[in-house]
Amino acid sequence: MGFSICYIATKATPKQVLTHLRLSATGETQDMPDYDWWVAQSATGYTIFWSENFEFCMKSQKKIAALSQSAEVYVGEVHEGVMWSSCAFWQKGCQLWSVQHTGDGSDDVDTSYFNLHISGKPPEIFEGIKAKYFEAQKTDGENVDHVFEIPIALTEQISGFRYDKIVTSERFLIITPPPRKPRGFIAKLFGKK
């Protein structure tokens, strides 16, 4: 099944992140998080916000724009089930660049594995990262989606955070997830969540 998450890396404080995202901490802290929603100040100096609601960051663009007024914000999204990954950079209320890979599950390597959408101008390190994973994709005889790693590696190079590695922090604040919107009649009838 794999990860289906979104995360934010920023120099804003955990309190600023929670305030702008209109979330609150439960008051509980942990040495190592095992909850679906948390925020922590990492050893690299970045505040990391984590949500196992893959769509949360997509649906919170205005809140992220507001947070980026006072601090640079990197947004990462990963859905391993469909090999979808992205990273975006926000500053002064605007998204300045983004890199997105959509693995569409096709057997056609040219349309599936090499699918990379770029908007704006990513930082200079992007070209080296892209070249490394494109070369791996071209030379690997296995059925592995190396290009999926590009947005993830870009965020890691900038912030030191990678979604599938342990985060070093003194404490992780557990977050109360936002309430789910009530389902409509048709969704209830057909069992949709």
CA angle 90, 96, 100 (to 5 degrees): 90
Query: Which DSSP state fits 134?
Result: H
What value, to the nearest 5°, has the Cα angle with vertex 130 and ends 158 and 91? 40
User: How much is the pLDDT for 108?
Assistant: 53
Q: How far apart are CA 112 and CA 43, in angstroms?
A: 36
Q: What is the DSSP letter of 137?
A: H
pLDDT value at 17 more than 80: yes
Q: What digits encode the pLDDT tens for the residues 144-175?
A: 889 999 999 999 999 999 998 888 887 898 99
Percent of the chain with pLDDT over 90: 64
Which one has a higher pLDDT value, 181 or 97? 97
Distance between CA atoms of 93 and 102, rounded to whole angstroms? 26
Q: What's the pLDDT band for 114 if we cut at 50, 70, 90?
A: confident
pLDDT at site 183: 58
Distance (Å, whole) CA 191 – CA 172: 35
Q: What is the mean pLDDT of residues 94-102?
A: 96
Q: How many residues appear in the chain?
A: 193
Could you tell me the pLDDT band of residue 134, with boundaries at 50, 70 and 90?
Answer: very high
And the tokens for 182? 């009530």
Q: What is the mean pLDDT of the chain?
A: 88
- Is the confidence at residue 109, as pLDDT, over 60? no
Domain locations along the chain: 4-189
Number of other residues whose CB lies within 10 A of the CB of residue 67: 24
Q: Is 95 exposed, middle or buried (0-12, 13-18, 19+ CB in 10 A)?
A: middle
pLDDT bin (cut points 50, 70, 90) of residue 73 is very high
